[in-house]
Structure 1
């Protein structure tokens, strides 16, 4: 488990250099402007953005897995560290060129950005709950983060995850 946590930390730290808006897209690899009839945005993304987004998604997935394991084992410090790393991956932007940012922003709907900001805010709160050793709050926040992922996938990435149904509808 320690090796896995070190690997995940390395991945998250590595992806923390990929750009602020990559975290914005960590909840999905393809994005649509509407859950009903919109076309996926992935074909419009550059190869570079697609690769960075996939990398970012894998890092968040690993962090969420580590948080779950740490929560059920009472490893509050690990919850705090992993949640903080997910939150901090939002404060980036070094590797994106101005053109990359424009390409990404043209593909990302406002609702997606709102979900992403909420996700990162929840991660910061989860880190605090870990530092406070508050298992009940950790569970509540982790559940909200998971719901946020489900909502995003069902709305903005339904072509990639057609069987994910929103928990908010």
Structure 2
């Protein structure tokens, strides 16, 4: 019977063990698209996905001594990516949408301008009415108060309050633009 060598010389050569950096590099290449897709599914805009994917792997690189780069590390990366996406979406600068062009003129703008012009005109007219007529007109027409309440507040007789209101209305009709 012949003596058969169970382990030939070629098999006795030491198998090179990849360095931790080489293991991480391979893991990085294999998991890049996975991490990016997780970020995109979690609401990260496409324009930010590559940067955040890189940030996830920077964190992984910092933890490379503590993590074994196998299928369990993929689950760890998933968790890191989910938290990173959540933090990114919470930032106020990512909640607003950037304007891409000039905004159209709002339809309300002409009405606002007209209202402001009318307010300025009313203010000038009230200045012309004077200290006695303007408070009665404003209290009755704008504030909606009753005439007895106005008379008590201004400490005048009720008939005087009605007379001032009528006089203010007459002067307002003369001052108003036609």
Query: Smaller-chain TM-score range?
Result: under 0.3
Greater RCO structure (CA 8 Å; 6+ sep):
1
Rg larger in 1 or in 2? 2
TM-score by length of 2: 0.21
TM-score by length of 1: 0.22
